[in-house]
Chain A
Amino acid sequence: MNLLALSLPAVLAQSDSGDLLVAQNIAFGIIAATMLFSAWRVVSTNNIVHAALYLVIALAGVAAIFILLGAEFVGVTQILVYIGAVVVLFLFGIMLTRARLGDVESVDHENRLIAALTAVLLAVVMSYALIDSFGDTRIDIETPSTTQAVSDSIFSDYIIPFEAVSLLLLAALIGAIVVARREDGS
């Protein structure tokens, strides 16, 4: 049994795999609508803490979609890393610096058009890359991927990208420390 089997769609689908796709599409629709709404609120709300909390919902939606696709390990990683650590650090930083209750007049930034343009461009590039490389390949959602399969491919086929990313993250970490430290040696 896995997380997918616990969710309602899988139970509806015990008889027929066609039903599974219907139920999965309904679940996807609900999750996607929630994610779109909260993602919109992240950038439109005037309360920074609320924005961070809406981000939690959007990221939880990502985890839910991973689980819907049978990628349980990735889904749980999403919760552990993004909700359990990244957003907590966001909230920590926000509350430490500008923890004002209620709406501030405006948190708009004059660069918002450029930011929107960048976001659209990023979406286009990523969709193009995904559609170009995978096309209409379907993943088998009835036999979820195991943790073993994930780790086997990371540490054999994708070992070089994995190590490259690790090195990049280490460099970013050291860079952040260098930037944050004052020059006077304190």
Chain B
Amino acid sequence: MSILAELAYWQQTSLRVAAGLVAVLLPAGTLVYLYLFKMMSFMQSRLGPMEAGPFGSLQLVAEVGKWLQKEDIIPTRADRLIFGLAPFIVLMSTFLLVVVIPFGPDAFFADLPTGIYFALAVGSISVIGILMAGWASANKYSLLGGLRAAGQLIAYELPMVLAVVGVVIQAGTLNMQGIVVAQADGEIFGWGGIGNPYILTQFVAFAIFLIAVQAELTQTPFDMPVAESELVSGYLTEYSGIRFLLFFISEYATAGAFSAIIAVLFLGGWYIPGIDIDDNVFNVIGPIVMMVKIVLVSFVIFWFRFTMPRFREDQLQRLAWKVLIPLALVNIAATAVLKVAF
């Protein structure tokens, strides 16, 4: 922070904007190449992109170029303003999510006291963008997709927030840096060898949060909003060119951002055991540690995506309201009792 404090406000802001673009686009590109292009291909016994660059690594550039060239089509009967705004609302939600994620003791965009609470709040804004896209397209498939997305996101926001409460009780703070430090300094029944990554002591919360994130990202098995076989591609049906590209980037960037939040809440964030937490070296290796953890967590998300069949709408609602929410409430009560007892 000492270097940052000497810069003028506009210089700090330009640095933050540049770093924010990297923090949004780098995980998104990595996830698309590693999982969507390569892992899915290997799971389906094919090679995936091989021609553009070594092992097809430049395929991403080719894809972006292709989407940028495509014609930007807006249906005649669409509500042009809202149709155009929708992808930006969704992308805005993604950028706001990244704001509170810490990448090192001094490497953060904003160290808000309400950290994780802020993340949960801004993460829910994307629903409005999806509803706008679905309605403004003037297409029955789009509208159905938008409505399905809204119903699903409302149902899974509750278990998500409730799962975080367990972590917050144990850490004693809403602040993201505070949660990282609490895990680094923590002890599991008096043994502090690896700190206390909450994936061990809050495993129930971790499982609920992971399922809720899967639903929030509308990845299979929760992909009814864009179900190809039923709804063409839901709220995305009428989008093409750069607007589709924005939706696509924000889908994978949000997957990266939520993986980062899972890494901070349950895997110890930028901290790795063995190095003193006050060591300045974490400002350098912290972002790398976070990136590795993001890739590990999102591996699980995409592994589910490529192997699970799709839920039915009533099964999805039943899972949220009758299984996840009661389980999360029990977890909160148990965590509170244990917190007071120990």
Contacts and interface: CB of A to CB of B under 8 A. Distances in A.
Interface of A: 1-3, 6, 11, 49-50, 53, 56, 72-73, 76-77, 79-80, 83-85, 87-89, 91-92, 95-96, 99, 101-102, 144, 146-147
Contacts of B132: 53
B157 A84 contact: yes
B131 A99 contact: no
A84 B77 contact: no
The 8 A-B pairs with the shortest beta carbon distances in the complex, nearest first, are A84-B124, A80-B121, A79-B121, A91-B131, A76-B121, A92-B150, A88-B127, A11-B9
Given A72-B114, A80-B120, A101 B151 contact: no
A103 B35 CA distance: 44
Given A79-B124, A92-B147, 4 more contacts: A76-B114, A79-B125, A80-B161, A92-B131
16 contacts: A1-B110, A6-B110, A49-B79, A49-B135, A72-B112, A73-B114, A76-B117, A77-B117, A80-B124, A80-B161, A83-B124, A84-B121, A88-B127, A95-B134, A99-B143, A101-B79
A88 B150 contact: yes
Interface in B231-258: none
A6 B112 CA distance: 10
Interface string B150-167: 110110010001000000
B149 to A, nearest CB: 10
Determine the main DSSP class of A at the interface with B: helix
Nearest to A47: B79
Interface in B124-154: 124-125, 127-128, 131-132, 134-136, 138, 143, 146-147, 150-151, 153-154
Interface in B76-115: 77-79, 82, 110-114
B111 A1 contact: yes
Contact of B131 (A1, A85, A95): A95
Determine the main DSSP class of B at the interface with A: helix
B122 interface: yes
Nearest to B140: A99
B135 A99 contact: yes
A151 to B, nearest CB: 10
B118 interface: yes
A100 B78 CA distance: 11
Contact of B135 (A3, A87, A95): A95
Contact of A72 (B111, B113, B134): B113
Contact of A87 (B78, B122, B128): B128
A84 B157 CA distance: 9
A86 B294 CA distance: 32
Contact of A1 (B82, B112, B138): B112
Contacts of A6: 110
B15 to A, nearest CB: 14
Nearest to A95: B135
B174 interface: yes
A80 B117 contact: yes
Contact of A101 (B118, B125, B138, B161): B138
B113 A2 contact: yes
Nearest to B138: A101
A84 B136 CA distance: 19
B151 A92 contact: yes
Contacts of A49: 79, 82, 135
